[in-house]
Amino acid sequence: MADKTNELKLAFAEALSKVNTMEELENLRVEYTGKKGYITGLMQEMKNLSPEEKKVFGQTVNVLKDEVNEKITEKREELKKKELEAELARMPEFDISMPPTLKRGSYHPITLVQRQCEEVFKSMGFAIEDYSEIVTDYECFEALNIPKDHPARDMQDTYYLENGQLLKSHTSAAQNAIYKKYKDALINEGKPIKAIFPGRCFRNEATDACHENTFFQMEGVMVDKNISISNLIFFMKTMLSEVFQKDIKVRLRPGFFPFVEPGFELDISCLICGGEGCPSCKHSGWLELCPCGMIHPEVLKAGGIDPEEYTGFAFGLGLTRLAMMKYGIKDIRDLNSGSLKSLSQFTDDK
Ligand code: DAH
């Protein structure tokens, strides 16, 4: 019997030396120490021995079993180490002790204008709110006085999820939640609602120099007693002159949006061509920058605010457009291109 244990020990050592993968190792383990393995088999043979022999043989087999287990554990560690080394060898070399020769990353032009706008509005007492990119049909349309089958939905075709939710087609989708969040302070404490909410928007859009399927807007609302169009114009003008740091030619013309009444288009004179006409402004010399208006009574009602008592204005600033104007970016597609060559030019302009 002692010979048998010895033989098994040698055979195991030989087999182990040929193991190269975790899978082979596992097979070997099962072959020797598994329920039907050689070592278990040896134990079963003991039943024919005398009690004295059983004791001695039992000990020998146990020692063998421990040794085999130990060797398997060692081999497993060795294989793991090898796997790691092979993986590291496949990775590109990267020396963390090297001095940084690459330039620092830069802020995206849209981030830059967004922050500038936030600063301006913050200084005028507006709260800055973040809102989800996935919204419900109610938030994006119904609560904004755009019922199902309303033609205004045609211009806002977007991407739908299987559960019926959608990628927001405009930042106005957050209006309802903002009214609900702040209405109690307005009604009970007389605190006006003043909030801006920048965000990424999506539309099913054929792309060209001035259209993208993914773009940024910054929505703003102000609700209180006696808010009028003059308040709206004041805030818009202040914001634009702060952002551009110069007087900007603007024009206000009527515009239709179901969630405002009256509604306006606030255009600025195209800064790329100086108003002469170019592809960025569709050769009109003007750029629609900030549609706005007085919040529709139905929209206030949906937000839990009594339109008999309160009025407000809302605007949806095109942050992407604003960035293009401010930095003279001619093609909107550059902004989503990820091209560091075009985007990193604005690093120092914070
Ligand atoms: N949400 C509109 C759009 O993306 C823009 C807009 C128009 C927002 C008028 C407003 C507004 O807040 O008052 O087309």
**pLDDT > 80? residue 260:** yes
Protein residues whose CB sits closer than 6 Å to any atom of ligand 1: 170, 172, 219, 257, 260, 263, 291-293, 314-316
Judged against a pLDDT cut of 80, whether residue 49 lies above it is answered with yes
Dist CA 123 CA 116 (whole Å): 11
Rounded to 5°, the CA angle 181-171-221 comes to 50
> In terms of pLDDT, which residue wins out, 51 or 98?
51
d(CA 270, CA 251): 12
With 70 as the cut, is the pLDDT of residue 147 above it?
A: yes
Map tokens 């910054």 to a residue.
218
**CA 30 to ligand 1 center in whole angstroms:** 69
Lookup: tokens for 311: 């009025």
Backbone angles phi, psi at 226, to 5 degrees: 60, 35
Distance CA 40, CA 93 (A): 49
Q: Which residues contact 161 (CB under 8 A, 6 or more apart)?
A: 134, 167
Question: Would you state the pLDDT for residue 54?
Answer: 84
Question: Is residue 157 within 8 Å of residue 125, measured between CB atoms?
Answer: no
Are residues 250 and 325 located together in one domain of the fold?
yes
Q: Are residue 34 and residue 166 in the same domain, yes or no?
A: no
pLDDT of residue 30: 92
Q: What angle do CA 107, 112, 118 make, to 5 degrees?
A: 135
Q: Are residues 190 and 326 in the same domain?
A: yes
Q: Which atom of ligand 1 is nearest to the CA of 316?
A: 8
Q: What's the pLDDT score for residue 1? A: 65
Give me the CATH number covering residue 279.
3.30.930.10
- Closest residue by CA, ligand 1 atom 13: 292
Within 10 angstroms of residue 248's Cβ, the number of other Cβ atoms is 15
Separation between Cα atoms, residue 147 and residue 299, nearest integer Å: 12
Number of H helices, E strands in the chain: 11, 9
Judgement on whether residues 132 and 259 belong to the same structural domain of the protein: yes
pLDDT in tens, 270-301: 888 888 998 878 899 998 889 999 999 999 99
In a domain, 174, yes or no: yes
Question: What distance in Å separates the CA atoms of residue 99 and residue 96, rounded to the nearest whole number?
Answer: 8
Using an 8 Å Cβ cutoff, are 295 and 238 in contact? no
Q: Please list, in sequence order, all residues whose beta carbon lies within 8 angstroms of the beta carbon of residue 293, skipping any fewer than 6 positions away.
A: 232, 255, 257, 259, 260, 261, 262, 263, 264, 313, 314, 315
Query: Quick one: which atom of ligand 1 is closest to the CA of 264?
Result: 9
| 200 in a structural domain | yes
97 in a structural domain: no
User: Does 95 map to a domain?
Assistant: no
Residue 68's pLDDT is what? 92
User: 70 or 339: whose pLDDT is higher?
Assistant: 70
In a shared domain, residues 286 and 322: yes
Query: Is 210 or 154 the better-scoring residue by pLDDT?
Result: 154
Which residues constitute the domain of residue 16? 2-90
Whose CA is closest to 334, among 344, 323, 343? 343
- Would you say residue 253 has pLDDT above 60? yes
49 lies in some domain: yes
- Residue that is last in its domain, among 90, 120, 136: 90
pLDDT, tens digit (0-9, with 9 covering 90-100), for 65-82: 999 999 999 999 999 999
Query: What is the structure's pLDDT at 349?
Result: 44
Q: What is the pLDDT of residue 2?
A: 67
What pLDDT, in 10s, does the model give residues 75-120?
999 999 999 998 888 877 777 777 766 667 788 999 999 999 999 9
Whole-number Å distance between alpha carbons of 152 and 200: 20
User: What is the number of residues in the chain?
Assistant: 350
Number of folded domains that form the chain:
2
Question: What's the confidence (pLDDT) of residue 347?
Answer: 60
Using CA atoms, how far apart are residues 228 and 310, in angstroms rounded to an integer? 11
- Considering the domain boundaries, does residue 249 fall inside one? yes
What was the pLDDT predicted at 23?
A: 92
**Kind and range of the H or E run holding 314:** strand 311-318
Minimum-distance ligand 1 atom for the alpha carbon of 175: 12
The predicted model scores a pTM of 0.69
Q: Residues 48, 161: one domain? A: no
* DSSP category for residue 37: S
- Other beta carbons within 10 angstroms of residue 98's beta carbon come to 8
Residue-wise pLDDT for 163-199, tens only, equals 999 999 999 999 999 999 999 999 999 999 999 999 9
82 and 217 within one domain: no
Q: Same structural domain for residues 226 and 332?
A: yes
Mean pLDDT of all residues in 314-329: 90
What are the backbone angles phi and psi of residue 214, rounded to the nearest 5°?
-135, 120
Question: Would 197 be classed as within a structural domain?
Answer: yes
| Pair (224, 328) in one structural domain | yes
Average pLDDT, the chain: 90
177 & 251 share domain: yes
* Same domain? 113 vs 259: yes
Instruction: From 63, 90, 117, give the residue that closes a domain.
Output: 90
State in Å: Cα 141 to ligand 1 middle. Answer: 12
Does 172 lie in the same domain as 29?
no
Q: Is residue 349 part of a domain?
A: no
Task: Flag whether pLDDT at 350 surpasses 60.
Answer: no
